[in-house]
């Protein structure tokens, strides 16, 4: 029985689509292992629904959704499906092991999409919605229906579509702003129109899903919440198609800070997990968070101007509307050294929301000690990178044994490399245009394959001369893309490790994208 307090306050369901809409964006593709790691972190964060992927898109997507569905406890797992029989059956199969399973089916309702993409009449579309929501409902009681491009659809037609979806059994109706076109006032009016005209809408959840093409994703989502929407579809760091989706951290903290402006709306998110999960996602994808990004950017709580610093010293509330500790910045200030000991290391990881089993903890601790020998101050960012790197590379079949680089101005760079590969030792030599080029060619020569390099990114995990370099690579081999991560205090070594991680995935078949299989379905948002 809800208390009087919760009757008055308005619970907003957080539907996280980092692993589906977010993962769909360029550069954000994740392997199955990485998706599992993220789904654990999302459960820890307290999201209500995890959209785990689009099972019909590829066997890899299907497998990831299936594994997430079997693993997640305490949150609903949703699988996305276009409104067709094959997609819905694939989604149903993928989520069948979930403690709480949702099928999320969608079809576009705007004239632009119906005429140019679907080539369907309104009557045909209504019949399709009825049939496909009914089909989805035969697999699970929890069915979400989305009217893709709702904000550019005819409002009265939208009423008919949603009426049909409710009659066929949909329990959540999503009103996506697929192309980031709407404005806060217009979106709020659309919410009011739907609530006034769709029969039975008060018995289902209205959901909002906004893209950020005009930078209004968060404003639109909040306007819709104030106007009666009860579910917000969001991603960590706002990743997603084109300019991205609405950022989870922005909506959650706007409601936590100014909930009274939105009908006393609140979420069940553990806000102190926000910064750690943001860092984890950018570590996995290599997509950096912009420094001035609200809540999670490095400068979000930095005060530079003298007048601001003066005010802050007198009283924090002069210039701070949120407490940085409440969103998890405290853990990020942690500093350890080699004398911190195992207990300090373990509690540092716990503060960052990182859980490891005994074997992983031991391996991470040994790597921490090695790092603490090279670097006096091991920070939270170092720890996150270290653990992530350990998780990423633990199954690598290629290992780095030795490397040598000869470099001088005006001459080609020469690299010699010695690798371990299962029980063999492989040796490669190459000359190239700089150390990274020569290094990757030498590795290719040792392994006897020549993938092409699609993306290379190096960043320092922390400031300072002794910083660890973190390298992300994407390589292409036989129409599939493989990602690799490498970490070391030397960037040549970090580059070699990243390349070997990606090469290992070629051998184990752990691609993040199979190009031929996904291009036909991945370009809508």
Query: DSSP assignment, residue 227?
Result: T
Q: Which stretch binds ligand KIV (CB under 6 A): 171-179, 422-430, 468-476, 498-506?
A: 171-179
207: partner contacted, choices ligand KIV, Zn ion, none (Cβ within 5-8 A by kind): none
- Tell whether residue 146 is a contact of ligand KIV (CB under 6 A): yes
The window from 37-45, 170-178, 182-190, 463-471 that contacts ligand KIV (CB under 6 A) reads 170-178
Q: Can you tell me the distance from the alpha carbon of 189 to that of 176, in angstroms, rounded to the nearest whole number?
A: 14
> CA of 55: how far to CAs of 59, 114, 137, 352, in Å?
7, 24, 17, 31
Pinpoint the alpha helices (H) of 430-522.
435-447, 491-508, 515-518
Hey, how many other C-beta atoms are within 10 angstroms of the C-beta on 134?
15
The listed partner (Zn ion, ligand KIV, none) that binds 106, CB under 5 to 8 Å by sort, is ligand KIV
The residue within the footprint of ligand KIV, chosen from 22, 53, 176, 484 (CB under 6 A), is 176
Of the listed pieces 14-22, 143-151, 159-167, 410-418, which binds Zn ion according to CB under 5 A? 14-22
Q: Given the rule CB under 6 A, which of 173-181, 284-292, 344-352, 465-473 is the region that contacts ligand KIV?
A: 173-181
- The least distance separating ligand KIV from the CB of residue 291, rounded to whole angstroms, comes to 27
Helix (H) or strand (E) holding 266: strand 265-266
39 binds ligand KIV (CB under 6 A): no
Q: Is 153 in the site for ligand KIV (CB under 6 A)?
A: no
Nearest to 385 by CA among 326, 471, 309: 471
Q: Which of 387, 294, 389 is nearest to 345 (CA)?
A: 387
| 14 contacts 269 by C-beta, under 8 angstroms | yes
Least separation, in Å, of the C-beta of 210 and ligand KIV?
Answer: 8
Which of 102, 209, 476, 497 binds ligand KIV (CB under 6 A)? It is: 209
Min separation Cβ 156 and ligand KIV, Å: 20
Query: DSSP letter at 23?
Result: T
**Contact assessment for residue 229 and residue 254, using Cβ atoms and an 8 Å cutoff:** no
Strand 205-210 to strand 172-177: parallel, antiparallel, or no bridges (unpaired)? parallel
Please select the residue that binds ligand KIV; options are 174, 340, 470, 512, rule is CB under 6 A: 174
Helix (H) or strand (E) holding 276: helix 274-285
- Do the Cβ atoms of 88 and 81 come closer than 8 Å? yes
Nearer CB in complex with ligand KIV: 106/499: 106
Using rule CB under 6 A, residue 212 touches ligand KIV: no
Please report whether residue 16 would count as binding Zn ion according to CB under 5 A. Answer: no
Q: In degrees, to the nearest 5, what angle opens at C-alpha 304 toward C-alphas 299 and 309?
A: 120
Choose between 48 and 382: whose C-beta lies nearer to ligand KIV: 48
- 246 is in the binding site of which of ligand KIV, Zn ion, none (Cβ under 5 to 8 A by kind)? none
Least gap, CB of 395 to ligand KIV (angstroms): 32
The tally of CA atoms less than 13 A away on the side-chain side of residue 407 is 12
Task: Kindly write out the interface string for residues 68-107 of this chain, putting x where it contacts ligand KIV by CB under 6 A and - elsewhere.
Answer: --------------------------------------x-
Q: How many Å apart are CA 213 and CA 38, to the nearest integer?
A: 25
- Provide the token pair at 219: 């404003």
Residue from 10, 18, 21, 438 binding Zn ion (CB under 5 A): 21
How far is 174 from 87, CA to CA, in rounded Å?
Answer: 18
Q: Which residues bind Zn ion (CB under 5 A)?
A: 21, 525
Q: Which residues bind ligand KIV (CB under 6 A)?
A: 21, 106, 146, 148, 174, 176, 178, 209, 211, 525
């Amino acid at each position: 029985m809800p208390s009087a307090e919760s009757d008055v306050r308005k619970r907003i369901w957080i539907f996280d689509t980092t692993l589906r809409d977010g993962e769909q964006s360029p550069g954000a593709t994740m392997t199955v292992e990485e998706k599992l790691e993220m789904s654990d972190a999302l459960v820890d964060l307290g999201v209500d629904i995890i959209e785990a992927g689009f099972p019909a898109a590829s066997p890899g997507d299907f497998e990831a959704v299936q594994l997430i569905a079997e693993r997640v406890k305490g949150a609903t797992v949703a699988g996305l499906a276009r409104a067709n029989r094959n997609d819905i059956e694939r989604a149903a199969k993928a989520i069948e092991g979930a403690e709480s399973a949702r099928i999320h089916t969608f079809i576009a309702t705007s004239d632009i999409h119906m005429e140019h993409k679907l080539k369907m009449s309104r009557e045909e579309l209504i019949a399709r919605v009825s049939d496909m929501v009914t089909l989805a409902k035969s697999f699970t009681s929890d069915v979400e229906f989305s009217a893709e491009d709702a904000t550019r659809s005819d409002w009265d037609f939208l009423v008919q579509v949603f009426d049909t979806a409710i009659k066929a059994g949909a329990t959540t109706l999503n009103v996506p702003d697929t192309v980031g076109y709407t404005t806060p006032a217009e979106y709020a009016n659309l919410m009011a129109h739907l609530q006034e005209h769709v029969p039975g809408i008060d018995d289902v959840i209205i959901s909002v899903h906004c893209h950020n093409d005009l930078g209004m994703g968060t404003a639109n989502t909040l306007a819709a919440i104030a106007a009666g929407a009860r579910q917000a579809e969001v991603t960590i760091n706002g990743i997603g198609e084109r300019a991205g989706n609405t950022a989870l951290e922005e909506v959650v903290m706007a409601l936590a800070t100014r909930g009274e402006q939105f009908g006393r709306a609140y979420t069940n998110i553990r806000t102190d997990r926000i910064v750690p999960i943001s860092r984890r996602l950018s570590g996995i994808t290599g997509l950096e968070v912009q420094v001035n990004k609200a809540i999670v950017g490095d400068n979000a709580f930095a005060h530079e101007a003298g007048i601001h610093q003066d005010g802050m010293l007198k009283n924090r509330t002069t210039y701070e509307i949120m407490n940085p500790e409440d969103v998890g910045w405290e853990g990020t200030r942690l500093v350890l050294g080699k004398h911190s000991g195992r207990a300090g290391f373990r509690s540092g990881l716990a503060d960052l929301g990182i859980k490891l089993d005994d074997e992983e903890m031991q391996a991470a601790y040994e790597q921490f000690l090695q790092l603490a020998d090279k670097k006096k101050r091991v920070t939270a960012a170092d720890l996150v990178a270290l653990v992530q790197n350990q998780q990423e590379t633990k199954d690598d079949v290629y290992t780095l044994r030795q490397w040598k680089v000869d470099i001088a101005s005006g001459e080609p760079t020469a690299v010699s490399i010695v690798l371990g590969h299962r029980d063999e030792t492989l040796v490669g030599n190459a000359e190239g245009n700089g150390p990274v080029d020569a290094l990757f060619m030498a590795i290719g020569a040792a392994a006897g394959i020549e993938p092409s390099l699609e993306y290379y990114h190096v960043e320092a995990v922390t400031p300072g001369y002794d910083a660890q370099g973190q390298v992300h690579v994407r390589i292409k081999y036989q129409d599939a893309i493989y990602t690799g991560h490498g970490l070391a205090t030397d960037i040549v070594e970090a580059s070699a490790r990243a390349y070997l991680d990606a090469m290992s995935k070629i051998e184990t078949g752990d691609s993040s994208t199979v190009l031929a299989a996904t291009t036909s379905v991945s370009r809508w948002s």
